[in-house]
Chains A and B, each alone.
Chain A
Amino acid sequence: MNEVFEPKMLAFLCNWCAYAGADLAGVSRFQYPPTIRVIRTMCSGRVDPLYVIEGLKDGFDQVSVFG
């Protein structure tokens, strides 16, 4: 374990809401931590609860769904 723990977080973003929101955050140059790995989905309703478990299984420290 090194000095500072950087969490690895998986994020499912809805194409129409959060993905655009994330895009806007990037365009407006808001600072946010580089800890998330984004997966774009066409709708956050498409995200099966099993995906969350799968994410944790694959070694992510946290999994979130943004709608």
Chain B
Amino acid sequence: MSVVEQLLDYSGIGRKRMALRWVSAAEGQIFADTVKELTESTKELGPFDAQAYNLQLAAVERVLQGPRVRWMTGVDLHVTERGNVYGEKVDEQAFRAMFEQSLKEEYEKALILEVLGDGPSSVREMAGKTGLPVYTVSLRLNDLERRGLADLQKFEGSTPRFVRLAA
């Protein structure tokens, strides 16, 4: 769930749109209080416009379905406490930093793929639609090309246009 929170932050939706709370069967009062508290915090946020965040939500969904994040979630204890198959342990903070970095990369790549799903587009157009810097788009696009997920389609004048390859 911390993965989802992180992704919601990246997408600009904000982690306050979701919550994970523990309420036991004997804690009716706590349940009522929690609902009250969450209602208040949601009231402050105001209504959520899903249409405006269509692209971001699609990208978050893509990241959550992607293999990289699926592999990385749930192995944290394994890698930080028990060590990998070579008996090497990874520092917990180092792991978290790595995880956040890859989560961010995956999210940016997913955004680009979602934009490309609407048709061929140039780096500048992608940067405009995703809100990412041009340089970041180039980097991620490079990665996507190497993985065979996107490719150069044609040149329009001197502007290269890219397409999405896989679904």
B71 smallest CB distance to A (angstroms):
14
Evaluate whether A21 and B50 lie within 8 angstroms (CB atoms) in the complex, with A50-B65, A56-B17, A61-B45 already known.
Answer: no
Evaluate whether A62 and B18 lie within 8 angstroms (CB atoms) in the complex, with A7-B47, A49-B64, A52-B4 already known.
Answer: yes
Question: Main SS of chain A's interface residues?
Answer: mixed
Question: Main SS of chain B's interface residues?
Answer: helix
Question: B49-74: contact bitstring with A at CB < 8 Å (1 yes, 0 no)?
Answer: 01001000100110011000000000
- A5 in contact with B46 (CB, 8 Å): yes
A27 nearest CB neighbor, chain B only: B28
Which of chain A's residues have a CB closer than 8 A to the CB of B47? 1, 5, 7, 61
**B75 contacts partner chain A, Cβ-Cβ < 8 Å:** no
**A43 contacts partner chain B, Cβ-Cβ < 8 Å:** no
Q: How many residues of A contact B (CB 8 A)?
A: 40
B53 nearest CB neighbor, chain A only: A56
- B20 in contact with A60 (CB, 8 Å): no
Q: Could you tell me the distance between the alpha carbons of A62 and B27 in the complex, rounded to whole angstroms?
A: 22
Partner of A60, one of B1, B48, B65: B48
Q: Could you tell me the distance between the alpha carbons of A27 and B38 in the complex, rounded to whole angstroms?
A: 21
B96 smallest CB distance to A (angstroms):
18
Residues of A within 8 A of B (CB): 1, 5, 7, 9, 11, 16-18, 20-28, 30-33, 35-36, 49-50, 52-54, 56-67
Residues of B within 8 A of A (CB): 1, 3-4, 13, 16-36, 38-39, 41-43, 45-48, 50, 53, 57, 60-61, 64-65
